[in-house]
Amino acid sequence: MKIRYISTIAIAALIGIATLPLASGATPTVSTTLKAQLIYIIQEEKLARDVYAALAKSTGINKFANITKSEQSHMDQLKVLLKTYGIKDPTLNLKAGVFVDKKLTALYKTLMTKGALSSADAIAVGVLIEQTDIKDINAMAKNVTQADIKLTLANLLKGSENHLAAFSR
């Protein structure tokens, strides 16, 4: 509990610092690769949120409703980074299951079809999403040098590990 509280304070402080304008007034920049990764990872968090929200309604499994809220929190943290680095948010005004990355739109449909088969299949979809998130976050974190992005990715990773544990119980 104490660690979670300290992490929350650290994230809040970093978000506050990250949103302050630079002395020169310039927007900090990231590499083209990191920009693409941030755009993808927020869409991946939206995919998780959208799938979990739909599965919460269709299955009545409370884990999905709880984790949906966490996925929204992850998106909110990423939105701060996108704003800080002057990156257009690809999730703005998109309906559930719709993504700029058309492969994610197709994946959403596939996951929803599988999740509709049974409660066990719905849980398996949650496991798959979290395993994929963990893999993608770890891959992205290897090349990040910016403290605010590192901290956000560490928080997302911890959340995905917790979600995976919840789905694996």
- Interatomic CA distance for residues 135 and 51, integer angstroms: 19
Tokens 């309906």 locate to: 95
Distance CA 167, CA 165 (A): 5
Show me where the domains of the chain are located: 2-168
What gap in Å lies between CA 86 and CA 22, rounded to an integer?
Answer: 13
Going by C-alpha positions, the residue among 141, 158, 107, 128 that lies closest to residue 38 is 141
Full-model pTM: 0.84
What 3-state class would DSSP assign to 96? coil
The pLDDT value recorded for residue 5 is 45
DSSP 23: T
Give the pLDDT of the chain (169 residues) as one tens digit per residue. Answer: 545 545 554 454 445 545 554 445 678 889 999 999 999 999 999 999 999 999 999 999 999 999 999 999 999 999 999 999 999 999 999 999 999 999 999 999 999 999 999 999 999 999 999 999 999 999 999 989 999 999 999 999 999 999 999 999 8
Does the domain made of 2-168 have the CATH classification 1.20.1260.10? Answer: yes
CB of 148 within 8 A of CB of 111?
A: no
Q: What is the pLDDT of residue 29?
A: 87
Q: What is the largest CA-CA distance in the chain?
A: 56
- The answer to whether the CB of 162 falls within 8 A of the CB of 156 is no
